Amino acid sequence: MDNANGQFGCAGAAVGPEKISADLGPLGWNDTFRFACHRGLPCFNRCCADVNIFLSPYDVLRIKHRLGLTSSEFLERYVLLPVEKSMKTPVVLLKMNDDAPRTCPFLTSHGCGIYSDRPWPCRMFPLGLAARRDTPDGWQGERFYFLLREEVCRGLHEPRQWTVRDWFDDQSIHDYDRWGEAFKELTLHQFFETGGELPPAKLEMMFTACYDLDKFRRFVFESTLLQRFEVDEDFIEEMRRDDETLLRFALLWLRFSLFGERTMKARPEAVAAVRGRTQRSAASNGPPPRAWPPAGQGKTVAPGVSAGSGAPEAPQPVAYAPGDEAGGLARQSLDQVGADQGGVP
Ligand code: SF4
Ligand code: SF4
C-alpha cells in the first residue's frame, strides 16, 4: 500500500533557516521528491511516537468531530497547553501517551487511527514549510517547502516520485492550508511583530475562540454579542450548527477584538454608546492607550458579517447573563477594544 491510501505520520523536526538553504534546498510547487509509506517498511509506525505536534484550530475541529467529542472534552483528554513567557499566542500540543516510547494516542497496529482527519503536520510529512522573513509582509510572505530527511524514515528511499503539487492534492492539504492562512492572520499579526503583547484575559479569549469552539458558541449565543454587531441571519443560523462557520466568525471577531481591525461592524446604537463612554473616560483619564491598527487597515470579512467602513467603530461592552463562563473575559476584551479605539482619529 503506498501513501496515497496508506498511513504515515512523522511530525517532522524544527529546522532553522540556515539548514534549509544549505542542506535541504527549497522546493517549489513543481519540484519533485521521492517518498512512499507502507506497512512493508521496517519503520512502519515507528515515527508516530515522541513527536511534538502543534494543533491548529482546524486540526482540533476535525479531530474532535472524528472522535465525537466536544471541544472541551477533546482538549481535556488529548492536549497539552505549554506556557512559556516567550509565547505571544496560545499553543496547543497533542499529548503523547505515558508509555515508554510515548506513542501518539491515535496510533493503532494498522497505522493512524484518525487517518482522514490527521493533523496538518502528519499530512505534510515528509515536507516541511518555511517562509522568508525578509519579504515585505514578513512571515506571511514568500513560502517554500523542503524535504525533512528523518533518518528513521525508509519511505524516503522508495522509488515513488511526487511533485509538491501532487503531494498536496493527494494528502488533501489545501483545506488545511486555507485555514492555516486565516489563523496566521492572527498569530503573525503585525501587532506581535512590532512588539505587542496580549494581557492574560485576551490570551484566554483567543484560546477559547480558536480551540474551544463549543464553549465559544455558548458565548456567542448566550451573551448579547450578536445584538451588538451586524451579522446576517442566515450566517447566524449556520453558526449554530456548523463549526467551520463558527470558526470563521471566531477568527474575524478576534481580529476585531484583539487588534481593532474592521472585520466586523458594530450596530450604530452600540457605537454611539461606546463613543459617549470613551469620551467621558478620556476626559477623566487623560490620553487614551495606543490604538491598533493604523487607520485604513483591516478588510477581510466573511459573507454575512459586515465590515466597518470609514472611521473605526467600537462595540458597546456586552451585558452578559449570569453564569456565562466566557462573559467576564469578553467584557474585559471588549472594554479594552472600546478604550483602544477611542484613540483612533
Ligand atoms: S495523528 Fe496519526 S499520523 Fe499523526 S502522529 Fe498520531 S498516529 Fe501518527
Ligand atoms: S518513518 Fe516514514 S515511511 Fe516509516 S512509517 Fe513513518 S512516514 Fe512512513
Test site for ligand 1: of 3, 10, 39, 48, most ligand atoms within 8 A of the Cβ: 48
| 211 shares a domain with 112 | no
Given this model, what pLDDT does residue 10 score?
38
| CA gap 227, 300 in Å, rounded | 21
Q: Does residue 169 belong to any structural domain of this protein?
A: yes
* Residue to probe by mutation, ligand 2, list 47, 51, 158, most atoms within 8 Å of CB: 47
Name every residue whose Cβ is closer than 8 Å to that of residue 183 and which is 6 or more positions away in sequence.
Answer: 56, 57, 58, 210, 251
Domain end position, chosen among 131, 154, 183: 183
Residues 153 and 202 in one domain: no
Ligand 1: residue whose CA is nearest its atom 1: 118
Length of the chain in residues, anyone?
Answer: 345
328 assigned to some structural domain: yes
Using DSSP, state whether 104 is helix, strand or coil. coil
Q: Which helix (H) or strand (E) holds 164?
A: helix 164-170
Residues 261 and 160 reside in one and the same domain? no
Residue 339 pLDDT level (bands cut at 50, 70, 90): very low
Report which residue type is found at 235.
F
Most confident of 141-145, 323-327, 338-342: 141-145
Q: Is residue 11 part of a domain?
A: no
Same domain, 94 and 168: yes
* Nearest CA residue ID for atom 7, ligand 2: 8
Q: Extract the C-alpha cell encoding 327.
A: 462573559
Q: Is residue 70 classed as helix, strand or coil in its secondary structure?
A: coil
199, 166: one domain: no
- Is residue 270 domain-resident? yes
5 inside domain: no
Dist. CA 115 → ligand 2 center (Å): 14
9 has pLDDT over 80 = no
Same domain, 198 and 163: no
Examine the fold and report which residue of 134, 154, 183 is the final residue of a domain before the chain moves on: 183
Supply the residue whose CA is at minimum distance from atom 1 of ligand 2: 153
Domain extent for 292: 190-341
| 156 plus 179 within the same structural domain | yes
Q: For residue 268, say if its preceding peptide bond is cis, omega within 30 degrees of 0.
A: no
Clarify whether residues 28 and 122 are in a common domain. Answer: yes
Ligand 2: residues with CB < 6 A are 8-10, 37, 41, 43-44, 46-47, 125, 152-155
As beta bridge partners, residue 106 has none
Last residue of a domain, one of 164, 183, 202: 183
- Taking alpha carbons only, the member of 74, 306, 336, 325 closest to residue 198 is 336
Residue 195 lies in a domain: yes
Question: What does the pLDDT read at residue 143?
Answer: 77
Average pLDDT across the chain, whole number: 78
Q: Please state the domain count of the chain.
A: 2
Is the pTM value of this prediction over 0.85?
Answer: no
Task: Kindly state whether residues 176 and 278 are assigned to the same domain.
Answer: no
Residue 215 forms part of a structural domain: yes
pLDDT at 159: 97
Which one-letter amino acid corresponds to residue 22?
A
